[in-house]
């Protein structure tokens, strides 16, 4: 979706100012935010793509006015409310008011390190790719109201396939309970000038990992 999370190439938000020696967490509550997100993900009520969509579908004012982990918590609350794991009254009061709902899984403290190390692999059995390295392709000019990993600034532009990464879960369908729909994933290289104009250096390029459904022959 064309939400506040898709800021690539947009102006007016000021420079990116990396924090020197930035800590992993800026406050103790941020550790709890990560822990809660991991623990609730283990209940198997949603997948990672559904979780991402919950965060990106926050209102622009809330999203842009929130810190990283504030966004995570707001997205988690949306997911828990939708799954019936918490009520609005419980969220506002911070107290349990109804009996706990049975869930499909749980994350124990002793298993956290292994779960983090494992991650959530998205690779699936190979499919026949439509494109190959060297092919010229165009990123489709698409504006879905649902989840997508195709950045707005690339839509309609022509690039070159440089790498085939095999077959992976398609997030656009997986985020909405429509199945994994595995398909080929490519790295596509674009000329920066084609995207942002002649002010860019002629040798600058932008590379993006894009699913096959995002691409068409150029």
Q: Check which CATH number belongs to the domain holding 81 and give it.
A: 1.10.472.20
Domain that holds residue 111: 28-118
CA terminus-to-terminus distance, the chain: 24
Same structural domain for residues 151 and 212? yes
**Hey, is 176 helix, strand or coil?**
coil
Same structural domain for residues 129 and 188? yes
* Domain-embedded: residue 49: yes
**Hey, is 142 helix, strand or coil?**
coil
Q: What is the pLDDT of residue 57?
A: 95
Residue 57 to residue 52: CA distance in whole angstroms = 9
Which pLDDT tens digits describe the chain residue by residue (218 residues)? 999 999 988 889 888 889 999 999 999 999 999 999 999 999 999 999 999 999 999 999 999 999 999 999 999 999 999 999 999 999 999 999 999 999 999 999 899 999 889 888 999 999 999 999 999 999 999 999 999 999 999 999 999 999 999 999 999 999 999 999 999 999 999 999 999 999 899 999 999 999 999 999 99
- 144 close to 172: Cβ distance less than 8 angstroms: yes
Q: What is the pLDDT of residue 75?
A: 98
* Domain-embedded: residue 183: yes
Domain edge (last residue) among 118, 152, 183? 118
Q: What is the pLDDT of residue 10?
A: 87
Residue 107 to residue 85: CA distance in whole angstroms = 16
Q: What is the pLDDT of residue 135?
A: 98
Helix axes 48-56, 68-82, angle to 10 degrees: 110
User: Cα dist. 49→29, 174, 199 in Å?
Assistant: 24, 6, 36
Same structural domain for residues 55 and 96? yes
Same structural domain for residues 38 and 88? yes
Same structural domain for residues 106 and 85? yes
Q: What is the pLDDT of residue 139?
A: 98
| Number of structural domains in the chain | 2
Q: What is the pLDDT of residue 16?
A: 86
Single out the residue of 140, 161, 162 nearest to residue 151, CA to CA. Answer: 140
Same structural domain for residues 213 and 128? yes
Domain edge (last residue) among 62, 83, 118? 118
Q: Which residues have CB under 8 Å from 157's CB, separation 6+?
A: 138, 139, 190, 194, 195
**Hey, is 126 helix, strand or coil?**
coil
Q: What is the pLDDT of residue 124?
A: 97
């Amino acid at each position: 979706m064309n939400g506040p999370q898709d800021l690539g190439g947009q102006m007016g938000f000021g420079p990116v100012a990396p924090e020197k020696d930035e800590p992993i967490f800026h406050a103790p509550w941020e550790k709890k935010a990560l822990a809660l997100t991991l623990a609730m993900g283990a209940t198997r009520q949603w997948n990672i793509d559904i979780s991402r969509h919950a965060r990106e579908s926050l209102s622009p004012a809330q999203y842009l006015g929130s810190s990283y982990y504030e966004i995570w918590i707001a997205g988690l609350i949306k997911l828990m409310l939708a799954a019936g794991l918490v009520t609005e009254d419980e969220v506002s009061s911070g107290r349990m008011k109804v009996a706990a709902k049975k869930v499909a899984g749980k994350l124990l403290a002793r298993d956290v390190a292994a779960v983090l190390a494992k991650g959530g692999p998205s690779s699936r059995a190979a499919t026949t790719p439509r494109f190959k390295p060297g092919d010229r392709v165009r990123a489709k000019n698409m504006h879905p109201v649902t989840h997508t990993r195709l950045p707005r600034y690339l839509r309609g532009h022509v690039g070159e396939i440089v790498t085939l990464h095999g077959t992976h879960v398609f997030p656009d369908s997986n985020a909405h309970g429509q199945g994994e729909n595995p398909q080929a994933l490519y790295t596509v290289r674009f000329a920066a000038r084609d995207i942002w104009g002649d002010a860019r250096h002629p040798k600058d390029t932008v590379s993006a990992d894009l699913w096959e459904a995002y691409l068409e022959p150029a």
